[in-house]
Structure formats: C-alpha cells, structure tokens
C-alpha cells in the first residue's frame, strides 16, 4: 500500500492553495473587465467630453479614441494652431463628431487672462451634455535639477498647471454633471508617485501628481450632497485616477528612453489611450479611485527602482538632464 500522505503536507498544500486563490481572484476580476464589451459612453455619461492637453501624447490619443466612440469634444490647450490641427484631424477621421476649442494657458489661472479663458470654457460647455472630463494637461519640466538650480518661476508654473489649473477646470465642468446626475472624471496621475520608492530631482512634479489623487479623487466622491430644488441626492460621478507610468510621449525625455530595460513593453500613447478613458479595462467603480499601470516595473530604468545616495543623484542628473528640453515649456 502506498504510504499515507502526512497531515502536515496536506495542511501546507491547503494553505498554499488558499493563498493562491486569494491572489488570483483580483486578477480574474481585472481580466473580466478586459474581456467585457465596451460600455456605451454616450448613454452612460453624455454626448460630450472635455479634454485638457489634447494636442499631443495621451491627450490626443484619448481624444481620438473618444471620437471613435461617438463622443463630441471640447478641446482645451494653450496653442490655438495645435487645437485647430487636432480638430481638423478629428473632423476628417470622424465627420459626425462635433468639436469646440478653447485656448487656455492653465499656467495663467488666477490672472485676468486666466479668468477670461475660464469664462470662455464655461460658455463653451454651457448647454452641452458634458459627461466626461479628462484632466490630462500637465507640465513635467524643469526636471533632473536641484531646487536651487531650477527657475523658480517655472516650478511655480508647474504647480499652477498641475494643481490649480486642474482644480479650476474640474470646478467649471463638475456642476453640470451633478445637475444631470451622471458623469465621469479621469485624472491622469504619474508612476512617480506610486511605482517608484523615490523620485529625486523631480519632487515638485511628483508632489503635484500626488495631489491629483489625494485631493481631486477624494473630494469628488459619491457622498450625498444637497442639490437646489432636489433635496439631498447621491452623486453619481465616476472618478478614475490613471497611473500610466512610462508611456512613449513627449514627457518622457530621450535620455530616459535610452535607459529603458525593455522598451517594447512601454505602451504607446495610442495603445494606452484605448483603455484610459471611461469604459476601458481600468474603469473605476462609482466613487472609487483605483489606479492602473500600463507597464511592468521591469521596463523602467534601473535608476528609478532604488533609493539614492548623493553620488547616485549626481549620476542621474548627468544622464537624464537635457538643457535643450529643460529650456522649453512642455505641456502634455
């Protein structure tokens, strides 16, 4: 007769199976989201979307994806020529989609010019069934610099765009969503606040992106709120915080791209845009704020995966700093 299986072995096997099942259940839940049919965004949220920074990178890819799904677009960017170019492209590719453009330099919030642009945005969305807001615009430079070496005004500009600008645009669009009782807000964060243990020389940028989750995703939640003439109602706003990590866009400098261990696993803007909007595989549940990463940690540069000594920071600075790139104003 075969020997009896020891009780301790059966116990360990059962414990291991239980552990694996707890690890697999969340994975299966995510796979189920990936395999489900895309939802009808027009029916669930509305017929219009507002996108900031839609002329390049993730913003442009998202605009094209939403247009392909029947959503008309209000495009907001600081460059009028780029806005016209994207609007014309959408018109040629999707003739049935309507577009509106608003020239708005988010670094001017709180100024007379910024107030005028905000009035134009509110006029543009007035009367529209805006169901989706994608807060994509952001400034990442100057980078790879100590604070005392950076232009303080450019750091202040980064804070105005990434924090104040995002807040004002959300405040302009959100009341209409609440009035209609539906809507979705997609806030684009950064892997620098989640996937790496530290991000030296980019701390101001990381702080602004961390604020995107802590403030904007927490404040816009599904708690009951008083609505004029309607009493106390529950907010039905989906809030999604995206953590793209490394994506091939203009915000990823050539110096950083050159250090990627497995660049083939880094998503393109078009590939990520297909899933970053509401209804994609990473769709947040109501009043929730989960995160998603589009690439594995193995595709990130080695210098992003470990803490730093002073000497290592100098090495990073030498390899990642590009004077030409830091000399320009970049908004994605």
- Within 10 Å of residue 280's Cβ, how many Cβ atoms? 21
Nearest in space to 285 (alpha carbons), one of 50, 38, 33, 31: 33
Integer angstrom CA distances of residue 6 from 2, 16, 18, 20:
12, 16, 19, 21
What residues have CB less than 8 Å from 260, skipping those under 6 apart?
A: 246, 266, 299, 300, 301
Quick check: helix, strand or coil at residue 48?
Answer: strand
Positive or negative CA dihedral for 52, 57, 60, 61? negative
Residue 258 CA to residue 251 CA, distance in Å, equals 14
| 205 given a catalytic annotation | yes
Tokens 């989750």, residue? 213
Residue 317 CA to residue 325 CA, distance in Å, equals 13
Task: Assess contact for 189 and 205: CB atoms under 8 A.
Answer: no
Catalytic residue among 45, 202, 205, 246: 205
Tokens 């990520």, residue? 272
Task: Assess contact for 20 and 231: CB atoms under 8 A.
Answer: no
Find residue 187's DSSP bridge partners. 135, 241
Task: Assess contact for 162 and 212: CB atoms under 8 A.
Answer: yes
**Host H or E run for residue 91:** helix 80-93
Task: Assess contact for 238 and 185: CB atoms under 8 A.
Answer: yes
- Please identify every residue annotated as catalytic: 205
């Amino acid at each position: 007769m075969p020997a009896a299986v020891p009780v301790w072995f059966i116990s360990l096997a059962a414990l291991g199976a239980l552990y694996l099942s707890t690890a697999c259940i969340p994975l299966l839940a995510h796979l189920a989201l990936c395999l489900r049919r895309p939802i009808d965004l027009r029916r669930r949220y509305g017929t219009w979307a507002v996108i900031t920074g839609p002329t390049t990178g993730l913003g442009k890819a998202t605009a094209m994806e939403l247009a392909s799904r029947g959503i008309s677009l209000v495009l907001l960017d600081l460059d009028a020529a780029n806005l016209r170019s994207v609007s014309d492209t959408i018109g040629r590719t999707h003739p049935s989609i309507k577009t509106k453009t608003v020239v708005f330099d988010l670094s001017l919030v709180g100024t007379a010019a910024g107030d005028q642009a905000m009035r134009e945005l509110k006029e543009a969305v007035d009367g529209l069934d805006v169901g989706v807001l994608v807060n994509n615009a952001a400034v990442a430079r100057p980078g790879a610099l100590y604070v005392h070496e950076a232009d303080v005004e450019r750091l202040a500009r980064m804070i105005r765009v990434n924090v104040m600008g995002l807040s004002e645009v959300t405040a302009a669009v959100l009341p209409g969503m609440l009035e209609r009782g539906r809507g979705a807000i997609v806030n684009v964060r950064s892997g620098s606040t989640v996937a790496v243990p530290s991000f030296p020389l980019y701390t101001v940028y990381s702080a602004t992106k961390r604020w995107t989750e802590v403030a904007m995703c927490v404040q816009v939640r599904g708690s009951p709120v008083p609505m004029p003439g309607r009493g106390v109602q529950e907010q039905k706003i989906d809030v999604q915080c995206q953590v793209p990590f490394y994506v091939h866009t203009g915000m990823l400098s050539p110096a950083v791209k050159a250090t990627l261990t497995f660049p083939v696993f880094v998503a393109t803007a078009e590939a990520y845009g297909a899933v970053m909007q509401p209804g994609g595989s990473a769709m947040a549940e109501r009043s929730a704020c989960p995160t998603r990463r589009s690439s594995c940690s193995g595709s990130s540069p080695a210098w992003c995966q470990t803490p730093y000594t002073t000497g290592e920071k100098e090495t990073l600075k030498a390899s990642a700093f590009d004077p030409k790139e830091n000399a320009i104003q970049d908004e994605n």
